[in-house]
């Protein structure tokens, strides 16, 4: 097999499709697969026949849960696509996909406009510096507005979103799209499912708005190319290829976001979207070399260029359990080449892993390949100890790529197997699901003897339990959801911890003096060693920190994890013979508990950002209900005949909200909810909670 040249790499696009729930991501992906010849019939989400939504739960609910990966070809280019979920409970899927992508397509609904989850995924793309193009979908729907949506995008994101195509008509009048670069009006033929089309001249009645948008586009790119600026100011005819190159440059640098439009369901606008992916989004060569550090020295920065000639580096971004082949590890190859049968080093665990097989994925179907090179996204079989976010690299040239950070789970439920036979199956299922999903955490509560599972929301846990029952045939009983509270402190104090056991022979001696205070900027825990003059030998300091960390796992008030703590080790003493690591660990733990009791401990609860879209008629009832849930209204924005209410509400008050909202609005309101931050529990509420704990 010939080596992948730079020319080949120029023709690779690694993209993700991201959006709010119900903006039409999966339908758009289905159309892309149809037009690129990957499928020969159109899959529909509402019929449960979408190729990318292959899980039973996805077909039933009509939502995307896992980020499926596929490869297709357009204009002699290879496009690796990851279709990410829009539901906020599965935000980890979006996060890990964006980490390994070069570009993204952000989808918006022309009726709903910029919705809360659109903002979340946009911020995630900003965090990873992912260049993107925007596609305003559902232009055929009643109430669709291209102007309103693009204005909202610029307002909410503070980005330079600039139209490169505009709709000819909206709602029922939507007839096709006008390309502002070529100044052609594209009309799609219904009888060929939009496979064929004609490019006509722009209709007279559309010329004014077309010229208005074209001028905005040329202004945006002229700023980015001096030659174009000169031509533009002198009102000369602009070269289409030069304009296209300037748009590409501006997009890759993040200076602008080209905006397209269409109706995926009605098969209008997809070819233009595919062209724009090729024309405007970066290839692996357009991105700066990937950075990492040496395994034994985090300050030693190493880089790897997107080239087959570089030492191999790849990042595992997703683990999936497959009923036929076992564990699949999805990787993005950044440099070099990986071959079936060869070994790679996992520097995170310092283990050599053997690649048994390499698969090119098409949703849940697969094709065996012998090797994969820089720029490829593939699944590999044979990884035993590799988890999400781990690096795989050349054994002789190790590098550790930046790990991914994932949000902590906020909702927990207890789970019990129904029979003894289910116990083993449940354990196996929990291990496999926790491997796949870093935001799913399993704990065993020794006091109650229960297994506790935690996740990002009610739907997240519901789907995981459903998968256990279907994929692993586990019969289990699930308890009521409970909230992951935390504890913190409110003032600065000093305290000491002294652990002494001396009863003939060798004893134990550890003594520490600690200062604790609330940490700033949301830091969970910071430990600073201020010991001078060897009051405590250096080898015992890590044991003190370990003891404090263990003590933080059981809060003073109700036994919840403690967070937001800055701790200084000020002083202490030791005994030549009796001191040991275990003695200092216990002393650290005792000292911290003594300090925490005096430092004004308080409870923290997870707060959720909630947005409710509600018709005017039910506004009063919805606001009243939110107030009764300790909700704090942040803002209200009118949208057509409805109002969008933004509100901060404690998670503990939001269980079962979907049913309540359905009842008080006769099913006409919708809401989205996502974790915001931890905030102190009001005194009267925490008193009631603590009384229950004591009982």
More confident residue, 445 or 694: 445
* Main-chain dihedrals φ then ψ at residue 510, nearest 5 degrees: -150, 135
Residues 6+ apart with CB under 8 A from 158: none
246 and 117 share a domain? yes
337 and 369 share a domain? yes
What average pLDDT does range 285-294 have in this prediction? 91
The predicted structure's pLDDT at residue 4: 55
573 falls within a domain: yes
Split at pLDDT 50, 70, 90, the class of 32 is: confident
457 and 432 share a domain? yes
616 and 588 share a domain? no
Instruction: Quote the domain boundaries for residue 124.
Output: 9-286
Split at pLDDT 50, 70, 90, the class of 235 is: confident
271 and 228 share a domain? yes
CATH code of the domain in which 460 resides: 3.30.70.870
What average pLDDT does range 637-659 have in this prediction? 85
| Interstrand relation of 257-261 and 161-163 (parallel, antiparallel or unpaired) | parallel
143 and 271 share a domain? yes
- Are 109 and 170 contacting, i.e. CB atoms less than 8 angstroms apart? no
1 falls within a domain: no
Residue 403 DSSP SS3:
coil
Tell me the three-class secondary structure of 576-599, residue by residue. CCCCCHHHHHHHHHHHHHHHHHHC
The closest alpha carbon to 60, from 45, 73, 72, belongs to 45
Number of helices and strands (H, E) in the chain?
Answer: 17, 38
CATH code of the domain in which 322 resides: 2.40.30.10
Tell me how far apart the alpha carbons of residues 650 and 632 are, in angstroms, rounded to a whole number. 9
The predicted structure's pLDDT at residue 289: 92
188 and 81 share a domain? yes
2 falls within a domain: no
- Answer whether residue 510 shows pLDDT above 80: yes
H/E stretch holding 315 reads strand 313-322
331 and 463 share a domain? no
Residues 6+ apart with CB under 8 A from 361: 68, 69, 70, 71, 330, 378, 379
Residue 368 DSSP SS3:
strand
Tell me how far apart the alpha carbons of residues 166 and 151 are, in angstroms, rounded to a whole number. 13
Tell me how far apart the alpha carbons of residues 459 and 479 are, in angstroms, rounded to a whole number. 14
Q: Per the structure block, which two tokens stand in for 364?
A: 């849940």
- Answer whether residue 476 shows pLDDT above 50: yes
H/E stretch holding 659 reads helix 657-664
Q: Per the structure block, which two tokens stand in for 20?
A: 């709010």
CATH code of the domain in which 620 resides: 3.30.70.240
Q: Number of folded domains in the chain? A: 5
More confident residue, 308 or 326: 308
**What is the rounded average pLDDT for all residues in the chain?**
85
4 falls within a domain: no
69 falls within a domain: yes
What average pLDDT does range 155-159 have in this prediction? 83
3 falls within a domain: no
The predicted structure's pLDDT at residue 693: 67
Which of 341, 374, 401 is a domain's end point?
A: 401
Strand partners, 31: none
Residue 387 DSSP SS3:
coil
494 and 480 share a domain? no
H/E stretch holding 167 reads strand 165-168
Split at pLDDT 50, 70, 90, the class of 536 is: very high
Tell me how far apart the alpha carbons of residues 400 and 348 are, in angstroms, rounded to a whole number. 7
Strand partners, 416: 477
Split at pLDDT 50, 70, 90, the class of 312 is: very high
Which of 401, 431, 461 is a domain's end point?
A: 401
- Are 217 and 223 contacting, i.e. CB atoms less than 8 angstroms apart? no
- Residue 64 neighbours by CB distance under 10 Å: 26
The predicted structure's pLDDT at residue 694: 61
Strand partners, 186: 177, 199
CATH code of the domain in which 161 resides: 3.40.50.300
Tell me how far apart the alpha carbons of residues 99 and 119 are, in angstroms, rounded to a whole number. 17
Which of 460, 484, 508 is a domain's end point?
A: 484
- Residue 551 neighbours by CB distance under 10 Å: 23
The predicted structure's pLDDT at residue 501: 86
408 falls within a domain: no
360 and 212 share a domain? no
409 falls within a domain: no
Span 374-422, pLDDT tens digits: 999 898 999 888 888 899 999 999 999 987 777 778 788 889 888 888 8
Residue 371 DSSP SS3:
strand
626, with CB counted inside 10 A (0-12, 13-18, 19+), is buried
CATH code of the domain in which 527 resides: 3.30.230.10
- Answer whether residue 121 shows pLDDT above 90: no
pTM for this structure? 0.72
* Main-chain dihedrals φ then ψ at residue 560, nearest 5 degrees: -80, 160
623 and 584 share a domain? no
Tell me how far apart the alpha carbons of residues 308 and 9 are, in angstroms, rounded to a whole number. 10
- Residue 100 neighbours by CB distance under 10 Å: 25
366 and 441 share a domain? no
């Amino acid at each position: 097999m010939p080596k992948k040249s730079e020319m080949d790499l120029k023709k690779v696009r690694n993209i993700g499709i991201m959006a709010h729930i119900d903006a039409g991501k999966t339908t758009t992906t289905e159309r892309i697969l149809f037009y690129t010849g990957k499928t020969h019939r159109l899959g529909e989400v509402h019929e449960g026949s979408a190729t990318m939504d292959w899980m039973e739960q996805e077909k039933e609910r009509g939502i995307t849960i896992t980020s499926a990966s596929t490869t297709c070809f357009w204009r002699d280019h290879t496009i690796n696509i990851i279709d990410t979920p829009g539901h906020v409970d599965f935000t980890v899927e979006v996060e890990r996909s964006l980490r390994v992508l070069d570009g993204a397509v952000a989808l918006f609904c022309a009726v709903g406009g910029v919705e809360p989850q659109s903002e979340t995924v946009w911020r995630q793309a900003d965090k990873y510096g992912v260049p993107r193009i925007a596609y305003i979908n559902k232009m055929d729907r009643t109430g669709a507005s291209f102007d309103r949506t693009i204005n909202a995008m610029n307002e909410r994101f503070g980005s330079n979103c600039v139209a490169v195509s505009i709709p000819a008509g909206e709602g029922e009048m939507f007839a096709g799209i006008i390309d502002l670069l070529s100044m052609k009006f594209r009309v799609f033929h219904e009888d060929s499912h939009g496979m064929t089309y004609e490019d006509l001249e722009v209709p007279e009645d559309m010329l004014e708005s077309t010229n208005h948008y074209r001028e905005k586009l040329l202004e945006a790119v002229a700023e980015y190319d001096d030659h174009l600026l000169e031509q533009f100011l002198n009102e000369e005819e602009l070269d289409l290829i030069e304009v296209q190159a300037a748009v590409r440059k501006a997009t890759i640098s993040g200076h602008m976001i080209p905006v397209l439009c269409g109706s995926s369901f009605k098969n209008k606008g997809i070819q233009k979207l595919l062209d724009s992916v090729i024309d405007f989004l970066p290839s692996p060569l357009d991105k700066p070399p990937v950075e990492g550090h040496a395994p034994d020295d985090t300050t030693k920065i190493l880089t790897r260029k997107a080239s087959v000639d570089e030492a191999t580096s790849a990042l595992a971004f997703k683990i999936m359990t497959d009923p036929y082949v076992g564990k699949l590890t999805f990787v993005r190859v950044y440099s070099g080449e990986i071959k079936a049968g060869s070994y790679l080093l996992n520097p995170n665990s310092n283990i050599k892993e053997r690649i048994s097989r390499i698969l090119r994925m098409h949703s849940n179907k697969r094709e065996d390949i012998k090797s994969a090179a820089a720029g490829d996204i593939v699944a590999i079989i044979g990884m035993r100890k590799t988890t999400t976010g781990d690096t795989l690299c050349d054994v002789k040239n190790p590098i550790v790529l930046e790990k991914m950070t994932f949000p902590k789970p906020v909702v927990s439920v207890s789970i019990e197997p129904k029979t003894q036979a289910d116990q083993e199956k449940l354990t196996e299922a929990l291990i496999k699901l926790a491997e796949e999903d870093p935001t799913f955490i399993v704990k065993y509560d020794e006091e109650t003897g229960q297994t506790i599972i935690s996740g990002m929301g009610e739907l997240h846990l519901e789907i995981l339990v459903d998968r256990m029952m279907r994929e692993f045939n586990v019969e289990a009983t699930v308890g009521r959801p409970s909230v992951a509270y935390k504890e913190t402190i409110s003032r600065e104090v000093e305290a000491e911890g002294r652990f002494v056991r001396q009863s003939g022979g060798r004893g134990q001696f550890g003594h520490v003096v600690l200062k604790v205070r609330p940490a700033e900027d949301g830091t969970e825990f910071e430990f600073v060693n201020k010991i001078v003059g060897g009051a405590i030998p250096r080898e015992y300091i890590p044991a003190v920190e370990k003891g404090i960390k263990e003590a933080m796992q059981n809060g003073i008030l109700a036994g919840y994890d403690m967070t937001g703590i800055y701790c200084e080790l000020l002083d202490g003493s030791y005994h030549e013979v009796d001191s040991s690591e275990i003695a200092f660990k216990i002393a650290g733990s005792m000292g911290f508990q003594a300090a925490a009791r005096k430092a004004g401990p308080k409870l923290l609860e997870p707060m959720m950002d909630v947005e409710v879209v509600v018709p005017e008629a039910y506004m009063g009832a919805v606001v009243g209900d939110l107030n009764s849930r300790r909700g704090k209204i942040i803002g209200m924005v009118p949208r057509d005949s409805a109002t969008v209410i933004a509100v901060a509400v404690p998670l503990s008050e939001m269980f079962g909200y979907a049913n309540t909202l359905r009842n008080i609005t006769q099913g006409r309101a919708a809401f989205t909810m996502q974790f915001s931050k931890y905030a102190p529990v009001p005194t009267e509420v925490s008193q009631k909670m603590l009384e229950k704990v004591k009982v």
